[in-house]
Amino acid sequence: MVDESAFPEASVLLAFRAGNVRSFAEPFELSLLATTMAKKEGVRQVTWRQGGRPLGVLPVAGIFGANASGKSNVLRAMNDMRLHVLHSFRSSSPTGGILRRPYSLEPAYRSAPSRFEIDLVLHGVRHEYGFVLDDAKVLEEWAYHYPRGRPALLFHRRPEGVDLGSADRAKGRAVLELLRPNALFLSTAASANHGGLLPLYAWFERNLLLAEAGSRPFRQAVTAQLLDDATMRNRVLDLLRAADLGITGARQIEPDPVTRERMQRALRIILGREEEPDGLADGTDISSFGVALTHRGADAEVDMDAEDESLGTLVWFGLVGPVVSALATGAVMLADELDSSLHPALVAQLVRLFQDQRSNPRRAQLIFNSHDAALLGDTGEESALGRDQVWFTEKSGGASRLYPLSDLAPRKDEAVGKRYLAGRYGAVPILSHGQFVAAIGDLTPGVE
């Protein structure tokens, strides 16, 4: 058993809430607070205020559902919030509006505001932060913390003005001089070096990193950089070997100045310090970052060209760096289509890295979506996830909704995987073989 008291001031995510964003018309919430259904060995006890009882927090949440049901949009909404925080001041035009993605299938929602909220423990103190915005401006924004169990104001922005908390009011007034209608107060405060709000801003910079197909080249840059780090190299190599992909090692090729700058730009983009330019990822592979993977041949080890590697190998290479980094720093990682091109057994092992306190003593968190019912198990004991770590998405009338398995009161020994595939929890596609056949038509030779 790992002594988690060695990390008393963990920063962890407790809940994310949003509304009128992407395929979600109505408000939804994803909670990582443990319930009575939790697998006890997976619950992390996290101090949230001075002298308070710890909160039970979950290290993993998995989202399951049919294609186009909204699974990915839960993660993308979290990433949207992160990008608003990181870029709204430094990247938006002073006279422009706000780029957002409201629910678009009904006209009333297109002009209605979007809402984002987050509940987290930051350096041992609970924080709540959120904002409401439309296409033109920020309508409301707030941040509170709970150093002694009751909410204390950091700031609250409304149309009539901004209420400042008691800490560093002089710096807060300086931020007001820079504040624009289309920029978040938190983003502006970070640019003004507001000491009281920098930790909250820095949390967004280091967390909610979205691993999706389009970000693979940037994540490969993270893995390549860790291979160049003496303290991280062996961890990365061991995970590459452990996946049974035939990899025996990784040889680093000294990149030329152009390649090195390409890698540094990729790292700045994934950390949110620079916006992604068009075309940067085009033609990028692991060799672009100075890495060649080594495989064991009949009589010697052989370097493989990137184009000869399997897609699963390249996907795993792009995951290993962010996973090692998240576990080492206690970050929150978002993984879209975690099972894409990876064997279910490998996906389950990745999930267990976050569940196991020995490999995850810093309380890193993984939020992912998947189609792989094997992760749910045929019994409670077989499942890689506890019953309160499973969430579902489904669409009704074009709009997505998110709901937890725990709301359906599953038994401890319930065959969740089988019941999910049988449609007992919803969140599965409704398909008709006859409709598929009719779509193709009769292809019998000589028959029109």
Domain 1-207+331-448 class, CATH top level: alpha beta
Q: Which tokens in the block code for residue 95?
A: 């006279």
The pLDDT assigned to 379 comes to 59
Q: What is the pLDDT of residue 155?
A: 96
Output the DSSP codes for 10-26. Answer: --EEEEEEEESBTTB-S
CA distance 210 to 203: 14
Q: Match 């009751």 to its residue by tokens.
A: 150
> Per residue in 219-238, pLDDT tens?
888 888 888 888 899 999 99
Q: At 118, which helix (H) or strand (E)?
A: strand 114-122
Give the model's pLDDT for residue 225.
Answer: 84
The token pair that represents 114 in the structure block: 């979007």
> pLDDT digits over 307-342, tens only?
788 888 888 888 999 999 999 999 999 999 887 778
With contact defined as beta carbons under 8 Å apart, do 314 and 340 qualify? no
Q: Are 119 and 32 in contact (CB under 8 A)?
A: no
The set of residues, in sequence order, having a beta carbon less than 8 Å from that of 204 and lying 6+ positions away, is 81, 82, 85, 86, 272
Q: Which parts of the chain register pLDDT below 70? A: 1-9, 254-256, 258-260, 262-263, 266-267, 270-288, 379-382, 446-448
**Dihedral sign of CA atoms 429, 433, 435, 441 in order:** positive
SS3 at position 446:
coil
**How far apart (Å, rounded) are the C-alpha atoms in residues 220 and 314?**
8
| Residue pair 153/165 in contact by the 8 Å Cβ criterion | yes
Say how far apart CA 331 and CA 437 lie, in whole Å: 47
Distance CA 196, CA 206 (A): 17
Distances (CA, A) of 324 to 17, 215, 239, 332: 27, 17, 9, 12
**Looking at the chain, how many residues does it have?**
448
pTM listed for this prediction:
0.90
Query: In the sheet where 161-164 sits, what is the strand order?
Result: 28-31, 12-19, 114-122, 125-133, 138-145, 152-158, 161-164
Within 13 A of 443's CA, how many CA atoms are on the CB side?
Answer: 4
- Placement of tokens 């009011």 in the chain: 169
Say if CB 32 and CB 12 are below 8 A apart.
yes
Residue 105's Cβ-side half-sphere holds a number of Cα atoms within 13 Å equal to 12
Parse the chain into domains and list their residue ranges: 1-207+331-448, 215-328
d(CA 58, CA 13): 9
193 Ramachandran zone, left/alpha/beta (phi>0; psi -120 to 50): left
pLDDT for the residue numbered 381: 60
